[in-house]
Amino acid sequence: MKMLLALFVLGWLTGGSAAAAERSLDKEVVINASLDQAWAAWTTREGITSFFAPDAQIGAVTHQWGDYYTRRAQAVLHGTWKTGGVWGGVKQGMIRVGDFGSKVPKAVQTEVLARQKDIASGKLHPFAAKQPVLDNEGHTVIAQGQTLGDEQILAMNWLVQGVQGKITR
């Protein structure tokens, strides 16, 4: 079984912390959510697949808040604004996958975009378990046939089986 090392820095990788983090990484596949230039340069130089390495980008998950902010600003201007929480995702157009790297085959890009449409339409739920889902300590965290709801997703404090790492609970 392939393992994915999850490295949580809990902050931007800068200076010495970036170098220390880099030395601890598995060099097969690294998924990173940092726009740090040092990280991108290092992953490219080492041949590591990373979201933000210029020559090794897989794709990007982007957060599209423009329409939401426009609606909120208009509500303020019209005197109708009320405080409240927001939980927007693919269905609401607030999260998008795309901006694929040049090495990602067109067939893979088409498949990813099709699944994104399925998620938006409700046809596919990323947290629906066709079989039991185990955490990396061997505990069942999603029972077969169960689909996690928003509250359960927000409360996730585990890593899936096959991912090395630990989340402080």
Contact 13, 26 (CB under 8 A): no
Compute the distance between CA of residue 81 and CA of residue 74 in angstroms, rounded to an integer.
Answer: 8
Tens of pLDDT, residues 27-49? 444 444 444 555 566 666 666 65
Tens of pLDDT, residues 68-111? 999 999 999 999 999 998 889 999 999 998 888 888 899 999 99
What is 119-152 written as a DSSP string? HHHTS--TTB-SS-EEBTTS-EEE-TT-B--HHH
114's enclosing H/E stretch is: helix 106-121
